[in-house]
Amino acid sequence: MFQNNYSFLSKLIHKIALNNHFVADTSFDIEQMIHEKEVEKQQLEQVIFITGLARSGTTSLFNAIYKTSEFASLTYQNMPFLMMPNIWKKIAPKTEEQPVERFHKDGLLVSINSPEAFDEYFWKLKLRDNYIKDFFLELNQIDEVSLNEYEIYLKLVCLSNKKHKYLSKNNNNILRLKYLKKKFPSAQILLLFREPLQHANSLLKEHLYFSEQQKKDNFIIDYFNYLGHHEFGLNHKYFKLDAGVNYSFALDSINYWLAIWKSYYQYIIENHLTDVNLVCYETLCIEPQKIENYLKDYFKIEVSLKNYMPPVYAFNNNIDKNLLNECLEIYESLIKKIK
């Protein structure tokens, strides 16, 4: 949720809180110090990471699982002091907002109580943005200290919500999957994927929309940069996962977004297929009961999902047919690997 009508004071607070390492580091240190004994007792009974390329249905699944009320997650109430979930919860102004359509204009409603992909900020802080380059995001190198601090952070979020289960949605987690599996070997990673041509069209549509909105208000770029969201828009950066992928297409070309798709899911197939639990977007939309049964049988999670027809984009005559066929082959491979 991003509101165009942020006041000057609100924007200034966001900049101080989210763009100053000293403020963030200090707030995290204070949070840990105050809640040290409670964190030692805090147990993480279940950890679920939801990830996938943007526009693959991650938010819909994230919201459905969060609505079970069994899991803790970061919400808009944690903004902008994301590193002090317990302290800020006690002192933050109490506000109530009616749900509104999120900034993506995709029909999903959000409010101050809605969960969101905010834990990327932890990695931006601890890694000092060293994986964020001019044009791409590169695979992370994470030390044991940072991994241990991330576990503490999850426990602090759980503590603030009086829960023992943590739920995360973060599309950038592809950059650190091996470290998450190492630190949380029993965690479940739900990775969503979508038919490549429709997925690429959705990404292109959002890219053009966000670019136009960011031209009108520079703070929108700042806001998404603070939070590590570079999926589309003027601040777009691709995941540098495969040196063999051609990224030279124009960003307003469907072929660029097909190349993004190919790189992302080819990397999963080659490196992390045994680490993730695949969820197909088309099944999530058209046969949600299959996903409901899957979550119940494998993860003891009972969710309620709604049937809806995914949007269908018109055929694009400028498609690189070879690139599309390569993507379709990957898509079929992913379909066959679903449990």
Q: Express each pLDDT in 157-215 by its tens digit.
A: 999 999 999 999 999 999 999 999 999 999 999 999 999 999 999 999 999 999 999 99
254-271 and 196-216 are packed helices; what angle lies between their axes, rounded to 10 degrees? Answer: 120
Order of strands, edge to edge, in the sheet holding 46-52? 165-169, 46-52, 188-193, 277-280
How many domains, in total, are found in the chain? Answer: 1
Does residue 1 form part of some domain? no
Which among 324, 338, 202 is positioned nearest to 280, based on CA atoms? 338
3-state SS class at 115 = strand
Q: How many angstroms separate the Cα of 77 from the Cα of each of 69, 118, 219, 292, 293?
A: 16, 11, 20, 28, 32
Query: What pLDDT was estimated at residue 17?
Result: 67
Does residue 80 form part of some domain? yes
Does residue 270 form part of some domain? yes
Residue with tokens 């297929």: 273
321-337 and 196-216 are packed helices; what angle lies between their axes, rounded to 10 degrees? Answer: 110
Which among 116, 123, 120 is positioned nearest to 66, based on CA atoms? 116
Q: How far apart are CA 204 and CA 282, in angstroms?
A: 19
Does residue 63 form part of some domain? yes
Determine contact, residues 166/49, Cβ cutoff 8 Å. Answer: no
Q: How many angstroms separate the Cα of 183 from the Cα of each of 134, 152, 236, 329?
A: 29, 12, 29, 32
Instruction: Name residues whose C-beta falls within 8 Å of residue 299's C-beta, 6 or more positions apart in sequence.
Output: 46, 48, 188
Determine contact, residues 269/332, Cβ cutoff 8 Å. Answer: no
Does residue 52 form part of some domain? yes
pLDDT in tens, the chain (339 residues): 444 445 665 666 776 767 778 888 999 999 999 999 999 999 999 999 999 999 999 999 999 999 999 999 999 889 889 999 999 998 877 666 666 655 555 556 666 788 898 999 999 999 999 999 999 999 999 999 999 999 999 999 999 999 999 999 999 999 999 999 999 999 999 999 999 999 999 999 999 999 999 999 888 898 899 999 999 999 999 999 976 788 889 999 999 999 999 999 999 999 999 999 999 999 999 999 999 999 999 999 999 998 888 878 776 778 999 999 999 999 999 999 997
Does residue 3 form part of some domain? no
CATH number at residue 182: 3.40.50
Query: What pLDDT was estimated at residue 215?
Result: 93
Q: How far apart are CA 86 and CA 213, in angstroms?
A: 34
Does residue 2 form part of some domain? no
Q: How far apart are CA 63 and CA 46, in angstroms?
A: 17
Q: Which residue type occupies 326?
A: E
Beta strands in the chain (DSSP E): 46-52, 100-101, 109-110, 136-138, 165-169, 188-193, 238-240, 277-280
Range of the domain at 223: 8-337
